[in-house]
Amino acid sequence: MKPESTRQLVGEALQKAENILLVSHIRPDGDAIGALLGLGLSLIQAGKTVQIVSRDGVPPNLRFLKGSERVQRSVTGMARLIVVVDCSDLERTGNLLEGEMVDVNIDHHITNLHFARYNLVEPTAVATSAILAECLPEWGLPMDASVASALLTGIITDTIGFRTANMNPAALRLAADLMEKGAHLSEVYRRGLVQKTFEAARFWGAGLMRLQRSDSLLWTTLRQVDRQEAGYPGNDDADLVNMLSGVDGDVVVVLNEQKSGKIKVSWRARPGLDISVLALQFGGGGHPAAAGAEVPGSLSDVEHRVLEATRKFLDEKAGTNGKGNA
Ligand code: AMP
Ligand code: MN
Ligand code: MN
């Protein structure tokens, strides 16, 4: 008899469970919310009791998604199947699950630590939402327009509008399937990716003013005072790093000062480089082309350490590869 695949085992666990807790990562992106709502709404439609938790809530630009009002910021109650989505490690949940055994880990990060009983980790998937878009029908779970819109949001935001190097024909077909199920591509694209608030644009301005370059490395900082002056309410970078990944260079780094005293570091690399190893060195994780870490220390101290390590990484690549080779 063929052994059951992880997909099958996770499907069975979800079918059996009555009471399910879904959790994703802090400073949630479109894939975190897309995967939470896509799976959450589908399970609710299948008659389950579901608690959907994101420590930092739902970013305002994603609140157009149906079901976002159901998202809680903390866990209440107990006795349930615990499912974590789009998190490479448990700290990413904002330590919402301290001391709990996680049942299911659904993710696509190459740096995933396989922290659960069942680890459905597929690093070739463009988004956790893409894994779910394939799996929900396999698991016999419903997919209406609201589920499809949530999952399409995850695919579009993680691939920055179908343009990251890991894009593949299957992901485009999945997106087409989701459109056929009722997802509204242009709305998801506009709200999830393109439209920015006035405050976000002003916050970008502070980061753009300080943009620096040394050889093929670009970097900038976002400070708490920039956030206040711009009136930007989020604790993320308002997507500045993705915008800067379009500027000529090999690697771009954004160092984003957090209230916690830590510095959120985001790296983006041109195709052919794998900066997830750098993020891992700093206790974070991610993908070859996009990775992040939360590093304790002052902005200037972390900036110094991170830039030094990133320069060393680029120098070693230049030594082995020849500079500019993909
Ligand atoms: P970001 O720079 O926050 O947009 O993140 C880029 C990628 O790295 C995303 O796939 C994140 O999930 C991942 N990532 C960001 N920060 C961390 C972290 N502290 N630990 C693990 N993965 C992270
Ligand atoms: Mn994510
Ligand atoms: Mn993701």
81-132 residue pLDDT tens = 999 999 999 999 999 998 899 999 999 999 999 999 999 999 999 999 999 9
| Cα–Cα distance, 21 to 206 (Å, whole number) | 39
Residues of the chain with CATH 3.90.1640.10: 3-194
Residue nearest to atom 10 of ligand 1 (CA): 286
| Cα–Cα distance, 268 to 284 (Å, whole number) | 14
Dihedral (CA of 166, 168, 173, 176) sign: positive
Task: Give yes or no for residue 284 CB within 6 A of ligand 1.
Answer: yes
The 8-class DSSP code of residue 224 comes to: H
Pocket probe for ligand 1: among 26, 88, 128, 160, the residue whose CB has the most ligand atoms within 8 Å is: 88
Residues of the chain with CATH 3.10.310.30: 198-325
Task: Give yes or no for residue 287 CB within 6 A of ligand 1.
Answer: yes
* 47 Cβ contact partners less than 8 Å away, ≥ 6 residues apart: none
Packing angle of the helix pair 145-158, 128-138 (nearest 10 deg): 150
| CATH code assigned to 198-325 | 3.10.310.30
Residue nearest to atom 11 of ligand 1 (CA): 286
Task: Write the pLDDT tens digit of every residue in 224-275.
Answer: 999 999 999 988 999 999 999 999 999 999 999 999 999 999 999 999 999 9
Task: Give yes or no for residue 292 CB within 6 A of ligand 1.
Answer: yes
User: Contact, 227 vs 260, CB < 8 A?
Assistant: no
Of 313, 158, 167, which is closest to residue 242 (Cα–Cα)? 158
Residues in the 5 Å CB sphere of ion ligand 3 = 31, 86, 127-128, 158
Which whole number is the average pLDDT over 159-170? 94
Q: With 60 as the cut, is the pLDDT of residue 324 above it?
A: no
Task: Give yes or no for residue 291 CB within 6 A of ligand 1.
Answer: yes
Say whether domain 3-194 belongs to CATH 3.30.70.20. no
Task: Give yes or no for residue 290 CB within 6 A of ligand 1.
Answer: yes
Can you give the pTM of this predicted structure?
0.93
| Cα–Cα distance, 320 to 172 (Å, whole number) | 34
- For 274, phi and psi rounded to 5 degrees? -120, 95
